[in-house]
Amino acid sequence: MQPILKIILSRLMMGLLTLLIVTVVIFSAVELLPGDIATETLGQSATPETLAAFRSKFNLDQPVHVRYGLWLAGAVQGDFGVSLSNQRPIAELIQSRAGNTFFLAGYAAAIAVPLAILLGLVAALYRNSAFDRMISGTTLVAISFPEFFVAYILILIFSVTLGWFPSLADVDGSAPLPERLYRTFLPALTMTLIVMAHMMRMTRAAIINLLASPYIEMAELKGIKRWRVIAVHALPNAMAPIITVVALNLAYLIVGVVLVEVVFVYPGLGQLLVDAVSNRDVTVVQAACLIFAATYILLNMAADILSIIANPKLLHPR
């Protein structure tokens, strides 16, 4: 078997094992919540017969290990059960919400990744200049603030003061793409400012580390323009750390979207999770947490594999 296939299979096995452990943690955390789920859902005025029927319907009268097995078996097949609050299938609730979340994350990534790599290249090209210090300082300031603070500042500037964009990202799947892009620009910009600093600084550091390499010095001695040396000769050899940090930040875009969705009242998976927590809808909470965890693990695993592919030395360790 080729080394790359062995690496991919080993990473897949590690990812599946990690996800299995995460399912145990999610299920156990919900089980440790205080109070009785049936009583909290139906209210204190519910009769014993109603409570018993409710527990029987949702398997709450079964032992913990039996309920975990049933939940895990259903989740593997895409069946997360029924919502406790509105009795609707959870898969139906999550389908559109997850699509909105991935759309917003993809929108932010489409802005953040090219912009961060470009700024990192320019910062490395003009390192220690006023431009380099300004870009580094601005991105560090943006990442130092929490998401909700950045979101409120952007709302104040672009929505309240200038009136360019709406403060609420109330979109649906039937809206045309240009309208969706317009209405979700502020939440996408918020997430871009949060994740761009890591990618930009990693790109800058990786390029600067390669500028002292002999082949870079030889290219400069041949009279090749500095921007071409960086873009053509240095950047391909710096892709491994850049790919890693980009994939990790894409994972953060997915799981870190909760606060942004709440601020902009965006109908995504994060908003659904917050509403489910408020309603003590534990089945929806379990499903949303599992989707977030699976996405994060998958993107981390992809980052690991892509970084190894980008650096062939890691395929043949000595």
Rounded mean pLDDT, 204-209? 78
Mean pLDDT rounded to a whole number for the chain:
78
pLDDT greater than 60 at residue 318: no
pLDDT greater than 60 at residue 317: no
Query: At 71, which helix (H) or strand (E)?
Result: helix 64-76
Integer CA distances (angstroms), 313 to 3, 212, 216, 235, 307, in order? 11, 20, 19, 17, 11
Rounded mean pLDDT, 168-189? 80
Confidence (pLDDT) at 29 = 80
Looking at per-residue pLDDT, the higher value among 311 and 131 belongs to: 131
pLDDT greater than 60 at residue 59: yes
Confidence (pLDDT) at 281 = 77
Sort 227 into a burial class: Cβ within 10 Å, 0-12 / 13-18 / 19+. exposed
Rounded mean pLDDT, 308-315? 64
pLDDT greater than 60 at residue 264: yes
Confidence (pLDDT) at 184 = 85
Place of tokens 């390192």: 127
Confidence (pLDDT) at 150 = 83
Confidence (pLDDT) at 32 = 73
- Tell me the two tokens of residue 82: 């029924």
pLDDT greater than 70 at residue 79: yes
pLDDT digits (tens, 9 = 90+) for 228-257: 777 776 777 777 777 777 777 777 777 777
pLDDT digits (tens, 9 = 90+) for 117-146: 888 888 877 777 888 788 878 877 777 777
Confidence (pLDDT) at 12 = 83
Confidence (pLDDT) at 239 = 73
Indicate the pLDDT class of residue 266, thresholds 50, 70 and 90: confident
The Cα 41–Cα 279 span in angstroms is 8
In terms of average pLDDT, the best of 68-72, 158-162, 196-200, 201-205 is: 158-162
Looking at per-residue pLDDT, the higher value among 114 and 65 belongs to: 114
pLDDT greater than 80 at residue 271: yes
Q: 35's torsion region: left (phi>0), alpha (psi -120 to 50) or beta?
A: left
Rounded mean pLDDT, 267-294? 82
Looking at per-residue pLDDT, the higher value among 50 and 151 belongs to: 151
- Walk me through the domains of the chain, giving residue ranges and CATH numbers: 107-280 (1.10.3720.10)
Indicate the pLDDT class of residue 116, thresholds 50, 70 and 90: confident
Indicate the pLDDT class of residue 224, thresholds 50, 70 and 90: confident
Contacts of 33 (CB under 8 A, 6+ apart): 282
pLDDT greater than 60 at residue 1: no
The Cα 215–Cα 59 span in angstroms is 66
pLDDT greater than 80 at residue 288: yes
Confidence (pLDDT) at 41 = 64
pLDDT greater than 60 at residue 164: yes
pLDDT cut 90: percent of the chain above it:
0
Confidence (pLDDT) at 58 = 67
pTM reported for the whole predicted model:
0.76
The Cα 53–Cα 61 span in angstroms is 10
| Closest to 111 (Cα-Cα) out of 161, 160, 184 | 184
